[in-house]
Amino acid sequence: MKTSLPSLQNWVEAVASQTHPDKIHWCDGSDAENEQLVGAMCGTGVLSPLNEETYPNCYLHLSDPSDVARVEHLTFICTQNNEDAGQNNNWMDPETAHKKIDALFQGSMRGRTMYIIPYCMGPIDSPYSRLGVEITDSPYVVVNMRMMTRMGMEALRRIETEGTFVKGLHSTGDLDPNKRFIMHFPEELTIKSIGSGYGGNALLGKKCHALRIASYQARTEGWLAEHMLIVGVEEPNGNVQYLACAFPSACGKTNLAMLIPPESHKGWKIWTLGDDIAWLHLDDTGQLRAINPEAGYFGVVPGTNEKTNKNAFDMIQSDTIFTNVATTTNNDPWWEDKNLGAPVKDWQGRDYDPSSGPAAHPNSRFTVSAKQNKSYSELADSADGVPISAIVFGGRRKELAPLVYEAKHWKHGVLVGASVASETTAAAIGDVGVVRRDPMAMKPFCGYNFADYWQHWLSFADKSDRLPKIFHVNWFRQDNKGKFLWPGFGENLRVLRWIMGRCNGSANAVETPIGYLPKKGEIDTDGLDVTDQTMQELLSVNVEQWKIEMDSVGEYLHSYGERLPEDLKNEYDELVAKLKIAS
Ligand code: OXD
Ligand code: MN
CATH of the domain at 304: 2.170.8.10
Q: Are residues 345 and 469 in the same domain?
A: no
In a domain, 35, yes or no: yes
In a domain, 419, yes or no: yes
- Tell me the pLDDT of the chain averaged across its residues: 97
In a domain, 52, yes or no: no
Q: Are residues 417 and 359 in the same domain?
A: no
Q: Are residues 411 and 487 in the same domain?
A: yes
Q: Give the pLDDT of residue 431.
A: 82
% of the chain at pLDDT higher than 70: 100
Model pLDDT for residues 450-499, shown as the tens digit of each residue:
999 999 999 999 999 999 999 999 999 999 999 999 999 999 999 999 99
Model pLDDT for residues 148-160, shown as the tens digit of each residue:
999 999 999 999 9
The number of the ligand nearest the C-alpha atom of 201 reads: 1
In a domain, 543, yes or no: yes
Record the pTM: 0.97
CATH of the domain at 214: 3.40.449.10
Phi, psi dihedrals of residue 289, rounded to the nearest 5°: -120, 145
Q: Are residues 76 and 170 in the same domain?
A: yes
> CB of 141 within 8 A of CB of 230?
no
Q: Are residues 301 and 198 in the same domain?
A: no
Model pLDDT for residues 92-129, shown as the tens digit of each residue:
999 999 999 999 999 999 999 999 999 999 999 999 99
Phi, psi dihedrals of residue 109, rounded to the nearest 5°: -105, 15
> CB of 176 within 8 A of CB of 108?
no
Give the residue from 340, 372, 404 where a domain finishes.
372
Give the residue from 372, 399, 431 where a domain finishes.
372
> What's the whole-number mean pLDDT along residues 256-268?
96
Which atom of ligand 1 is nearest the CA belonging to 200?
3
pLDDT for residue 397 is more than 70: yes
Domain that holds residue 406: 226-294+379-582
The number of the ligand nearest the C-alpha atom of 278 reads: 2
Instruction: Return the closest-CA partner of residue 231 out of 311, 151, 112, 330.
Output: 311
Q: Are residues 169 and 187 in the same domain?
A: yes
In a domain, 244, yes or no: yes
Q: Give the pLDDT of residue 434.
A: 83
Q: Give the pLDDT of residue 273.
A: 98
Q: Are residues 174 and 323 in the same domain?
A: no
In a domain, 60, yes or no: no
Helices (H), 54-173: 82-85, 94-105, 139-148, 153-162
- DSSP E strands: which ranges in 44-122? 48-49, 59-61, 75-77, 90-91, 113-121
Which atom of ligand 1 is nearest the CA belonging to 227?
4
> Ligand 1 center to residue 214 CA distance, Å?
16
pLDDT band at 313 (very low <50, low <70, confident <90, very high): very high
Which atom of ligand 1 is nearest the CA belonging to 249?
4
Contacts of 101 (CB under 8 A, 6+ apart): 181, 183, 192, 194
Q: Is 200 in the pocket of ligand 1 (CB under 6 A)?
A: yes
Give the residue from 372, 387, 411 where a domain finishes.
372
Instruction: Return the closest-CA partner of residue 390 out of 412, 407, 372, 371.
Output: 407
Q: Give the pLDDT of residue 317.
A: 98
Mutate to test the pocket of ligand 1, among 228, 245, 276, 294 (most ligand atoms within 8 A of CB): 276
Q: Distance between CA 146 and CA 137 in Å, rounded?
A: 15
Model pLDDT for residues 162-201, shown as the tens digit of each residue:
999 999 999 999 999 999 999 999 999 999 999 999 999 9
If you take atom 4 of ligand 1, which residue's CA is the nearest one?
249
**Residue 320: HSE in the Cβ half-sphere, 13 Å Cα cutoff:** 31
Q: Are residues 326 and 440 in the same domain?
A: no
Q: Which residues hold their Cβ within 5 A of ligand 2, which is an ion?
A: 249, 276
pLDDT for residue 236 is more than 80: yes
Q: Is 247 in the pocket of ligand 1 (CB under 6 A)?
A: no
Q: Distance between CA 298 and CA 277 in Å, rounded?
A: 11
> What's the whole-number mean pLDDT along residues 250-258?
93
Q: Are residues 183 and 238 in the same domain?
A: no
In a domain, 56, yes or no: no
> Ligand 2 center to residue 160 CA distance, Å?
30
CATH of the domain at 243: 3.90.228.20
Annotated catalytic residue: which of 120, 208, 245, 251? 251
> CB of 453 within 8 A of CB of 373?
no
Q: Are residues 83 and 146 in the same domain?
A: yes
Domain count, the chain: 3
Q: Are residues 533 and 454 in the same domain?
A: yes
Told to judge if 503 belongs to the known catalytic residues of this protein, a careful annotator would answer no
Model pLDDT for residues 49-58, shown as the tens digit of each residue:
999 999 999 9
Q: Is 298 in the pocket of ligand 1 (CB under 6 A)?
A: yes
> Ligand 2 center to residue 141 CA distance, Å?
17
pLDDT band at 2 (very low <50, low <70, confident <90, very high): confident
pLDDT band at 1 (very low <50, low <70, confident <90, very high): low
In a domain, 49, yes or no: no
> Which 8-state DSSP code applies to residue 13?
H
Q: Are residues 386 and 509 in the same domain?
A: yes
